[in-house]
Structure 1
């Protein structure tokens, strides 16, 4: 009799896990390794229901100073729930092969506090799942610092080229639209 009562919480937890997986938008299924950390980021657990800015980055790109603008954007809107995810990539041949060097550029040189992952493929058949879905919903990144604004349901509502700075009024408008979206 006692064994049956112990099984009930386990079953409830299993069903809750299934319900959470069903609630997770396709965009956020899976995980990515955090930059210079031993942990992985469960994208659904960490970001489901939150407005996002996803950007592919490169430490040695001429657009790297946009890290400062992305950090300012994150600081301005994080209390309203905005998350920024930086995904370094060497797809355009401007990222270090050394994660420590990438981390130094992001964290030391630019003071980034938003989420950064280890370098990933962001284009083509080898692209990480996150970027495959971003490409399906809009387009693949055409260069480094291509920015996607994602609503609380995991849908891309706008994407911006590398030339669009993080303080651009149209970009800010898209971020505020994502912040206003319903989960």
Structure 2
């Protein structure tokens, strides 16, 4: 069967967390950490992003085989492995760079995302605040931010922040794991 490669661009707080989640999903070919959605010219640096002044969000860009996993399933996993009800915050990470955001690549993705957001709302007491926007320019983060969890599992952040998200992923979406 020929691969049917598509892309999704998502921000759910720190990109290290969302990257680690999607690297475990069957049908995901590649996950790249980066930034999108800012309002300053030029390619931003990690330090500039962390200031919260550029308007960029930490995001991941996922390349996936739609013959194995659907865009809808990607979004359901995304929406259930971070808190989409906290504005500009995931856990202790605070600022617009940590906002929950879906950057759609085309009109079909916008429609699917709108529907998923409506359906998922029933599972949360608080209102979902996930931003839904057309994909602007995506900037790839530097190499030290790629594959962060896999290369730094001994770090405290990985143990205390990322591993609980992976545990939740494995519990809720065992059928989607690689």
Q: Same fold (TM over 0.5)?
A: no
TM-score (norm 2): 0.33
TM-score calculated relative to the size of structure 1: 0.32
Q: Between Structure 1 and Structure 2, which shows a larger proportion of strand residues? A: 2
Task: Name which one, 1 or 2, has greater alpha-carbon Rg.
Answer: 1
> Which is bigger in relative contact order (C-alpha 8 A, separation at least 6)?
2
